[in-house]
Amino acid sequence: MADRAATNRPTTDRPVSELENATRTHAQQFGAMVREHREALKMRQDDLALATGVGRRFILELEAGKPSCQLGRALVVAAAVGLRTFDLMSANSNADNPLLPDLIDDMPDAEDDPRG
């Protein structure tokens, strides 16, 4: 019982859902992209925090892949290191996402469409 009190974390045997796993994975990939771009700019976490108006702790948590980071702030930080929304979206475009429905690949081409 002393161990549980020392960590202040409730124990739970609840299984992690597929959505939670995907969220964690995407947050970690996003954080890694931000870190890579920041390091390529030879920018320290403190400098990035100051430039974007967020705290250093936010940068630490974002780069560590914390899934609950605020989206608006995260996008400001991403833009500050040169990441565009397209870059973020295309990072996972080749991977199948089990959370999205399958789309029909057999759409007719415009020239095959009888309506013109």
Q: What is the pLDDT of residues 35-55, one digit of tens each?
A: 999 999 999 999 999 999 999
Is the full-model pTM beyond 0.75? no
* Cβ–Cβ < 8 Å for 101, 111: no
Domain count, the chain: 1
**What is the extent of the structural domain holding 57?**
20-89
- Is there a contact between 35 and 64 (Cβ–Cβ < 8 Å)? no
Q: Produce one character per residue of 3-39: b if its CB has 16 or more CB atoms within 10 Å, e if not.
A: eeeeeeeeeeeeeeeeeeeebeebbeebbebbbebbe
Strands, E, within the chain: which ranges?
A: none
In a domain, residue 81? The reply is yes
Residues 85-114 have pLDDT tens digits of 777 777 665 555 555 555 555 555 656 555
pLDDT level of residue 16 (50, 70, 90 thresholds): confident
Q: Work out the pLDDT band at 22, boundaries 50, 70, 90.
A: confident
Residue 57 lies in a domain: yes
CATH value at residue 62:
1.10.260.40
Q: Is 48 within a domain?
A: yes
